[in-house]
């Protein structure tokens, strides 16, 4: 670990953080490919140009590494979702953009979303992931609620369900679509588009 006593040059810690990110990105790829249960540190290292011992130089232990991965995924994920609500001037446009956005998000990185649901399940058993998972869940819920609020503003009505309920239903649709998409269904994406578009107005009756 770089000396924490006196950090002279800025480039040192930057290099350290850069390599941390580089290793975490490689780890994320492997995790998305194999899932949490059967991903080992050695397998992760095999997908990099480095040896397995190095992982313990940049990360305290396996949980520290995976937690760092999840945090990075969170940022990328929320960032990916950004701009979904932006360019819609009518309720119907917004509802359509909602379905299109979710479908595009799914097809963009299905393996990473698969990992997300895997880790969220793991967090129900392993307390170490719970906080990070809860934080990401909160961000996703906020994102969904911003969409609902935008629809409310465009229609001049008020939603008749809670933010968590709205998130739960959209998440259910997304999760099922992901499952079917990965299983080879060619109607999964269209169904997700349509079901999401239809769900939005339903939240106001």
Do 2 and 16 touch, CB atoms closer than 8 A? Answer: yes
Candidate residues 25, 43, 112, 204; the one interacting with DNA per rule CB under 7 A = 43
Q: Please state the closest distance from residue 160 (CB atom) to its own copies, in A.
A: 7
- Does 69 participate in binding DNA (rule CB under 7 A)? no
The SS3 call for residue 82 is coil
Rounded CA separation 73/25 (Å)? 9
Rounded CA separation 158/163 (Å)? 12
- Does 175 participate in binding its own copies (rule CB under 8 A)? yes
- Does 122 participate in binding DNA (rule CB under 7 A)? no
Candidate residues 25, 29, 47, 50; the one interacting with DNA per rule CB under 7 A = 50
- Does 183 participate in binding its own copies (rule CB under 8 A)? yes
Question: Which does residue 27 bind out of DNA, its own copies, none, counting CB within 5 to 8 angstroms by kind?
Answer: none
Question: Which does residue 57 bind out of its own copies, DNA, none, counting CB within 5 to 8 angstroms by kind?
Answer: DNA
* CA count, 13 A, side-chain hemisphere, 44: 27
The position carrying tokens 């969170």 is: 74
Candidate residues 21, 56, 71, 202; the one interacting with DNA per rule CB under 7 A = 56
- Does 63 participate in binding its own copies (rule CB under 8 A)? no
- Does 36 participate in binding DNA (rule CB under 7 A)? no
Q: In angstroms, how far apart are the furthest CA atoms of the chain?
A: 61
Kindly write down the DSSP assignment for every residue of 97-141, as one continuous string: HHHHHHHHHHHH-HHHHHHHHHHHHHTTT-GGGHHHHHHHHHHHH
Tokens standing for residue 98: 């909602």
- Does 135 participate in binding DNA (rule CB under 7 A)? no
Q: Angle of helix 110-122 relative to helix 163-182, nearest 10 degrees?
A: 120
Question: Which does residue 161 bind out of its own copies, DNA, none, counting CB within 5 to 8 angstroms by kind?
Answer: its own copies
Candidate residues 88, 170, 193, 197; the one interacting with its own copies per rule CB under 8 A = 170
- Residues at the site binding DNA, with contacts judged by CB under 7 A: 1-3, 8-9, 11-12, 15-16, 19, 38-43, 49-57, 61-63
């Amino acid at each position: 670990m770089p000396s924490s006593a006196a950090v002279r040059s800025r480039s040192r810690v930057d290099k350290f953080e850069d390599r941390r990110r580089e290793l975490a990105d490689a780890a994320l790829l492997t995790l998305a490919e194999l899932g949490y249960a059967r991903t080992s540190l050695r397998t992760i290292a095999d997908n990099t140009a480095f040896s397995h011992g190095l992982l313990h130089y940049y990360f305290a232990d396996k949980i520290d590494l995976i937690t760092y991965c999840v945090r990075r995924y969170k940022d990328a994920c929320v960032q990916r979702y950004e701009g979904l609500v932006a360019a819609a001037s009518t309720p119907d446009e917004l509802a359509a953009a909602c379905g299109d956005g979710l479908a595009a998000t799914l097809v963009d990185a299905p393996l990473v979303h698969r990992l997300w649901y895997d880790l969220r399940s793991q967090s129900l058993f392993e307390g170490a992931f719970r906080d990070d998972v809860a934080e990401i869940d909160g961000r996703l819920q906020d994102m969904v609620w911003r969409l609902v609020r935008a629809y409310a503003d465009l229609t001049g009505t008020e939603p008749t369900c809670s933010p968590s309920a709205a998130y739960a239903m959209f998440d259910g649709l997304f999760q099922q679509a992901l499952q079917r998409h990965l299983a080879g269904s060619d109607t999964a994406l269209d169904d997700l588009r349509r079901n999401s578009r239809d769900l939005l107005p339903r939240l106001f009756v």
